[in-house]
């Protein structure tokens, strides 16, 4: 091999090596951002305390209302659930944040229903939520050891409520089925107005731990019904609290 050919070979090798190094750095950075971002919760459990600001303590059914909401996370699968009345009442939903669909489930004593909601059905229900504006200010707070921004939700026909939000913890796609879809972080304290009931939620604990795939399966004894029928059954459950 001539000196000229050897020089060209070395030049070519350097160019290829440089490209590979650049590509490698880019790949490592991409993998690092995707898989080693400590703010992303890929598997674990989030627990909220639930209270009812508009229901008096002496209400006959208040002791039977859910006192906490649990979120179970495993990659793109998230399970929301609440239980009350020694397990007699159990409701929630399991959603796929990538496919953007969910399955609701409801157990009331011996009645067990489930209903699969596609993306369009979920978006339609979000549009039915009370119109609101979310404003985050400069005030900060700490909830369950997590720093968060304090803000407020302004409603057209409902009194303003406090909200606390952080991006120190994120579950990708968690908020896609809510009016807060544009926010990638986690709400540590907020309010829900559903089926005529005002619920206040505040983060109690967050645990990074292994989660079984079975947590995202609907038991075989649940009967699948249409979305409208499911929503009616869920509404009946809360009607006694009006």
- pLDDT digits over 93-138, tens only? 999 999 999 999 999 888 999 999 999 999 888 766 766 788 998 9
Give residue 125's pLDDT. 81
Q: Does domain 43-239 have CATH number 2.20.25.160?
A: no
Q: What is the pLDDT at residue 202?
A: 96
Q: Which of 109, 115, 113, 110 is nearest to 95 (CA)?
A: 115
Do residues 190 and 164 lie in contact, with contact meaning Cβ atoms separated by under 8 Å? yes
User: Which pLDDT score is estimated for 139?
Assistant: 95
Between CA 186 and CA 148 the distance in angstroms is 9
Mean pLDDT to the nearest integer, 47-64? 87
**pLDDT, position 27:** 40
pLDDT digits (tens, 9 = 90+) for 60-78: 878 878 899 999 999 999 9
Cβ contact 199:50 at 8 Å: yes
**Count of C-beta atoms within a 10 Å radius of residue 149:** 17
User: In this structure, are residues 40 and 178 in contact, taking their beta carbons and an 8 Å threshold?
Assistant: no
Pairing of strands 223-224, 111-117: parallel
| Percent share of the chain, pLDDT over 90 | 52
Segment 136-159 shows an average pLDDT of 90
The full set of domain ranges for the chain reads: 1-36, 43-239
Q: Give yes or no for residue 155 having a pLDDT over 90.
A: no
| Comparison of pLDDT for 237 and 166, the residue scoring more | 166
- Does the pLDDT of residue 141 top 80, yes or no? yes
Tens digit of pLDDT for each residue in 166-218? 999 999 999 998 888 889 999 999 988 776 788 899 999 999 999 999 999 99
Higher pLDDT, 180 or 3: 180
Give the C-alpha separation, 15 to 28, whole Å. 20
Looking at per-residue confidence, does 224 or 179 come out higher? 224
pTM: 0.80
Provide the pLDDT for residue 48. 96
Average pLDDT of the chain to the nearest whole number: 83
């Amino acid at each position: 091999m001539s000196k000229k050919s050897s020089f060209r070979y070395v030049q070519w090798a350097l160019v290829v090596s440089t490209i590979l190094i650049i590509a490698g750095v880019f790949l490592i950075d991409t993998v690092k951002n995707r898989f080693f971002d400590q703010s992303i919760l890929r598997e674990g459990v989030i627990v909220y305390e639930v209270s009812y600001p508009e229901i008096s303590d002496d209400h006959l059914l208040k002791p039977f209302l859910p006192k906490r909401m649990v979120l179970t996370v495993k990659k793109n699968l998230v399970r929301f659930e609440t239980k009350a009345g020694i397990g007699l009442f159990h409701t929630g939903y399991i959603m796929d944040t990538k496919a953007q669909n969910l399955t609701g489930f409801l157990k009331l004593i011996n009645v067990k229903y489930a209903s699969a909601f596609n993306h369009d059905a979920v978006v339609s229900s979000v549009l039915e939520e009370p119109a609101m504006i979310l404003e985050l200010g400069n005030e900060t707070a700490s909830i369950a050891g997590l720093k968060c921004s304090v803000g407020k939700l302004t409603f057209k026909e409902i009194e303003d409520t406090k909200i606390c939000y952080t991006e120190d913890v994120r579950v990708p796609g968690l908020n896609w089925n809510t009016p807060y879809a544009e926010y990638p972080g986690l709400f540590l304290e907020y309010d829900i107005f559903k089926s005529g009931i005002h619920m206040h939620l505040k983060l109690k604990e967050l645990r990074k731990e292994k989660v079984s795939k079975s947590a995202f399966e609907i038991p075989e004894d649940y009967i699948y019904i249409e979305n409208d029928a499911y929503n009616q059954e869920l509404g009946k459950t809360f009607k006694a609290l009006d």
